Amino acid sequence: MTLKLLMEVSPQELLESLAELQNHVLGYVKSTSLKCAVDLGIPATIHKRGGTATLADIAADAKVHPAKVADLRRMMALLSASGIFTTTAAGTGDDDGAADDTAAVQYGLTTTGRFLVGWRNLSPVAPFFVNPLIVSSFFDLPDWLRSEPAPAGAGSLFEQAHGCSRQEMVGKDAGFGSVLRDAMTADSELFLEVIIVDKGRIFRGVSSLVDVGAGNGAGTRVVAKAFPRIKCTVLDLPQSVGQAAAAGDGNLSFVAGDMFESIPPADAVLLKVGIHEYHLSVPRGHVNEKFIFLLNCSPLSVLECFA
């Protein structure tokens, strides 16, 4: 900070700017605290108790050590300020955010927080995006930005950091594979529920559909159930399809294969995220043949669903 800056701005603006800088530098605390809350089952605790819970309720259900309840309170205060939880002083009905050692505070779920509970929820997404393998990739961002682009978009940030793609990492690290599949399942189920409710007309006239890269087909099952007339097929690599291939029934079936080699014929192809990822991985001015193949994979239509 220079003397000139001190003279140009007011003390109030300096303090606000410093707070904003610290907010960015410590931004990871929000995401890791959210993951911690999900791992401890805090949103579920609030939900199962009728929508509100005290700090004592949460600490008891999460088995937090008594000596660390004060630390839990601070984490709850952070997540409340971040828009995940609400705080109401018991008996007043006022959502004033008060949370001290003497006031009985009821914690609730905001609209955002409610995405973490219930039949279709996004709680598995936090453990994936805050996974050490994902987060550590960003420490290589300066080197990645300075390096020569890899041919055909093969050099993603994750690949530079770990020497393999995320799909290849699934085969190497069972834990990573588990959180990836859980996150994809949760995201796909909820996303396609919303698409069907809001944009269900895109499925009109479609009698067959191939969901490319759909893993265990959790999202595809949502489509198959909503539209029994549509013959749905899940296409993914053998290690991704796994045991789900034997679980096909009714209008849902599974095919193990490589989408860059062939895609089963259908009226429509559903590509969730896939096109987006391959398009953005190509340097400006270059052509990704795999991307072109995906765009031409269906004779009638491609349903592009970007999460």
Residues identified as active-site: 276
Token pair 């080197």: residue: 143
- Confirm if 54 and 90 have CB atoms less than 8 A apart: yes
Q: Write the CA distances from 222 to 60, 64, 193, 254, 288, integer angstroms.
A: 36, 37, 7, 15, 31
∠ at Cα 159 (154, 160), nearest 5°?
Answer: 100
Residue type for position 246: A
Q: Which residues pair with 197 in a beta bridge?
A: none
Tell which residue, 141, 279, 119, has the closest CA to residue 189: 119
Angle of the 174-199 helix axis to the 218-226 helix axis, nearest 10: 20
